[in-house]
Amino acid sequence: MKNFILLCVLIFTVGCSAKLADLQPVDNKAYITIKEDIYNLSVGGIGNYKWVHGLKAGTYNLIGEDKDGYYYHNHGDVVIMLTEENAEHYLKTSERKPYEQRGFPQGGQGGLWLPKDKNDKPVVYYLINTPPSDSIVSGGIIGMTSTPNGAMGAGFIVGGITTSAISSMVNGSIEKLAFDDLSEKFTDLEVIHVPN
């Protein structure tokens, strides 16, 4: 019973995650240009792993807002989320493996959230399980291979259905990377407003 309640709470909370399609439209056009990759290297977690988080150089267009801020988005593979070997490779070469070959964490589509309250800090966001080739509202796909025979096979099937249901609710959801030392690097970006 305890596990069932936890599963219900998990399904409810991930089902309520915001997606880009849920944002309020904006009347004005604006964009931000990042001239070179902006990232942060940190060491942490169990085993002191190296992590690199940030955004690739490019143009990020204003696509919507929520009650607290504005979303500047780029549809490419722009969010940098790397650990260990992938982080080391990026730091040496400024290159990343293709999205599908990175493993967890992947990064991918996303951009920069700028707060309406000037006392708050900008935050990098990404779309969960959304490869750069997907559309703005779609999510990734979780595949599962099993041999359905006996009780173990039934467990795989039930687990696969549950995982697929939860995954479909989470895919494409907005996840923010709230690291103060990374946020500080985005405070001086200029927003260019385009006349209507």
Residue 45 tokens, joined: 């977690």
Q: For 24-34, how does the pLDDT look when each residue is reduced to its tens digit (9 = 90+)?
A: 999 999 999 99
Better pLDDT: 169 or 7: 169
pLDDT of residue 141 exceeding 60: no
> Residue 33 carries which side chain, given as an amino acid letter?
T
Give the pLDDT mean for 56-68.
96
* E strands, 84-138, in order: 108-115, 123-127
Q: Give burial (CB, 10 Å; 0-12/13-18/19+) of 166.
A: middle
pTM, full prediction: 0.74
The confidence score (pLDDT) of residue 178 equals 81
| Confidence grade of residue 170 (pLDDT, cut at 50, 70, 90) | low
Cα dihedral sign for 28, 113, 15, 129?
positive
Domain ranges of the chain: 18-130+174-194, 138-171
